[in-house]
Structure 1
Amino acid sequence: MPEGHSVHRIARQFARNFVGKPVVASSPQGRFAEGAALLDGRAVESVQAVGKQMFLETEGDLWLRVHLGLYGAWDFSGEILVDPTIASANGRMGQTNQRGTDLDEAPILDDAGENSLASIGAPRKTRVHVRMSEATKGLADEGAEWPPPVVGQVRLRLMTDATCADLRGPTACALQTPDEMLATVAKLGPDPLVGDVDAGEERFVAAVRRRAVPIALLLMDQSVVSGIGNVYRAELLFRAQLNPHTPGRDVPEETVRALWRDWVRLLAIGVETGQMMTMDDLTSDQYRAAMAHRDDRHWVYHRTGLPCRVCGTDIVLEEIGARKLYWCPRCQA
């Protein structure tokens, strides 16, 4: 499931390519035909990501709410104007946060064929095809047919005169009034990139400290904190050296605050680089290797049975809340 950094990146693509422009909306699949008919011809006025959900405001006080869920993805085609705050090929966020990293070299392609330091390419205005989901892929497609042919099950297609966005497989795709949109957002926990970060910290601390639920479940509860999924959950707990089964109310307040502040930091890195990089103090070679291979970016996630990078104990995999949990039984005892 796309985690918070992916949804914020998608929202930024919409901000640069769709805001201020009228859209042609359709539902090639047919499952959102009525909604598409209502959106058709309206100008996009704003876009906002909150956790794992995106809200697109159109003229006439109509909001499009999209939750990608496990299988959803946006495909962008046409002229893609990339957000300059997103990493370019020199890996600025990685360079800022990784000691001794020098990445002014050739692009780093990961095992999914993605330029890991410019997830949807360096800033440009050209004919391309880009998929934005948890496993983002950028596929050059210059000179392609326009408008692009519909491929597969497209729930919603939004087009300007130069850019096309196809939505596939979302958990939720719905139109909302302003009041309905605000009610949806009100049910979500704080997002470090939405509103005041200090106020978000206080909300998070209060929500965690009053619950007897294991902290591993609380971090995945989108009413407690927005945007954290399976990868960030495992990595945040390891970085805090925190037993995932500890009830929230038993986690020391300073540890809860440290979790929030670490989430603020990791989310910012994820938004700019497009990758859930959670390891620190890497050499240049180590960082490039991590950007090239997803399993080398994390302390414990997806490392079942492999030795802990710190203590050598085998990483444990268990199921909690119907989701996989990876952790070190020694470092996080």
Structure 2
Amino acid sequence: MPEGHSIHRLAARHAELFAGEKLQAASPQGRFAEGVARLSGSVLEATEAYGKHLLHHYGGELTLHVHLGLYGKFTDGPGEPPEPVGQVRLRLVSDGHWLDLRGPTACELLTPPELAALRGRLGPDPLREDADPQRAYARISRSPTPLAALLLDQSVVAGTGLIFVTEALFRAGLPPTMPGRGLTRDGWELLWHDLVALMRQAVERGRIDTVRDEHLPEAMGRAARVDRHGGEVYVYRRPGAPCHGCATPVSRGDLAGRNLYWCATCQD
């Protein structure tokens, strides 16, 4: 599932292509036919990302909400759109560009109350200027739930997925299984600011890099990481490999049905 930085990049991309344009909408697959009937001919006023949720705001208080989930994907291009390939849930077309959406978990139009409800159930997003990190800490500081599970809970922090969570906890030297209520306020401030920095960098680069300069391949004389997710990381999907900080084999465990990675020495 895309992490929050990818959704912020999509919001910026869609604004670049379509902001201020009157768009024609279609649902070649047919599953969003009712929605496109209301959407087609509207002007896209703005886009935004909130965690893993993408929002297109149109005139008349009309908001398109997309959650890509595990399989959702956007494609776009200039000029006339090609013949639809696969299950295209939504197609948007302007005078100069087209956009296709396939396989999302959610593709729906929201009323203002429904949009407010969506925002209300999400925690602060480290990539948003309006984020209030203390709202997240209020939940974390009184919870016996493992810290990693809390950070993966989108109602606590919005936009963080397994890569950002495992890597930020490593960088902070915090064990992922530590109860949330064991995290000090100062520890939370440092963790939050690191998440903000890592996620902003990911927006700029289009990939997640979490390794500090002294642990980069050229600094350590090691081979670069080869992985479909790209980027240099400390523990994510590196079970059994030596920790870049202490050479201890990276551990892997299970947390709520998801793989978890950590260094038993650096995060003791």
TM range (shorter): over 0.9
Instruction: Count residues in correspondence.
Output: 265
Please say if residues 248 and 265 of structure 2, whose CA atoms lie closer than 8 Å, have aligned partners that are also in contact.
yes
Q: Distance in 1 between matches of 2:179 and 2:126?
A: 23
The 3-state SS of whatever aligns with 1:56 is strand
Higher relative contact order (CA 8 A, sep 6+): 1
Q: 1:165 to 1:295 in 2, by over 3 A?
A: closer
Q: 1:54 to 1:248 in 2, by over 3 A?
A: same
Match of 1:39, as an amino acid?
A: L
Match of 1:184, as an amino acid?
A: L
Please say if residues 215 and 244 of structure 2, whose CA atoms lie closer than 8 Å, have aligned partners that are also in contact.
no
1:119 corresponds to? none
Could you list the structure 1 runs, at least 4 aligned residues long, displaced by more than 3 angstroms after superposition.
Answer: 282-296
Match of 1:309, as an amino acid?
A: H
Shift of 1:61: 1.2
The 3-state SS of whatever aligns with 2:81 is coil
1:190 corresponds to? 124
Q: 1:295 to 1:61 in 2, by over 3 A?
A: closer
Deviations 1:151-207 (A, max 9, x none): 11111111111111111111111110112112101110001232435xx22212222
Q: Distance in 1 between matches of 2:89 and 2:83?
A: 14
For residues 212-227 of structure 1, the aligned pairs below 5 Å read: 212-227=144-159
Please say if residues 189 and 204 of structure 1, whose CA atoms lie closer than 8 Å, have aligned partners that are also in contact.
yes
Shift of 1:283: 8.5
1:326 corresponds to? 261
Q: Distance in 1 between matches of 2:217 and 2:239?
A: 24
Q: Distance in 1 between matches of 2:178 and 2:217?
A: 36
Please say if residues 31 and 89 of structure 2, whose CA atoms lie closer than 8 Å, have aligned partners that are also in contact.
yes
Please say if residues 208 and 256 of structure 1, whose CA atoms lie closer than 8 Å, have aligned partners that are also in contact.
no
Please say if residues 208 and 231 of structure 2, whose CA atoms lie closer than 8 Å, have aligned partners that are also in contact.
no
2:233 corresponds to? 298
Please say if residues 208 and 230 of structure 2, whose CA atoms lie closer than 8 Å, have aligned partners that are also in contact.
no
Q: Distance in 2 between matches of 1:170 and 1:9?
A: 17
Deviations 1:25-58 (A, max 9, x none): 1111111111111111111111110000011111
Please say if residues 207 and 231 of structure 2, whose CA atoms lie closer than 8 Å, have aligned partners that are also in contact.
no
2:249 corresponds to? 314
2:197 corresponds to? 265
When the two chains are superposed, the root-mean-square deviation of aligned CA atoms in Å is: 2.0
Q: 1:192 to 1:331 in 2, by over 3 A?
A: same
Please say if residues 55 and 64 of structure 2, whose CA atoms lie closer than 8 Å, have aligned partners that are also in contact.
yes
Q: Which runs of 5+ in 2 are unaligned?
A: none
Q: Distance in 2 between matches of 1:259 and 1:214?
A: 15
Q: Which runs of 5+ in 1 are unaligned?
A: 80-145
2:33 corresponds to? 33
Shift of 1:306: 0.8
Shift of 1:317: 1.3
Give me the TM-score of the superposition, normalised by structure 2.
0.93
Deviations 1:80-138 (A, max 9, x none): xxxxxxxxxxxxxxxxxxxxxxxxxxxxxxxxxxxxxxxxxxxxxxxxxxxxxxxxxxx
Give me the TM-score of the superposition, normalised by structure 1.
0.75
Does residue 11 of structure 2 align to residue 17 of structure 1?
no
1:77 corresponds to? 77
Given candidates 138, 149, 170, the residue that maps to 2:83 is: 149
The 3-state SS of whatever aligns with 1:6 is helix
Match of 1:232, as an amino acid?
A: F
Q: Distance in 2 between matches of 1:273 and 1:295?
A: 11
Aligned identity (percent) is: 45
Does residue 171 of structure 2 align to residue 239 of structure 1?
yes
Match of 1:72, as an amino acid?
A: G
1:59 corresponds to? 59
Shift of 1:19: 1.2
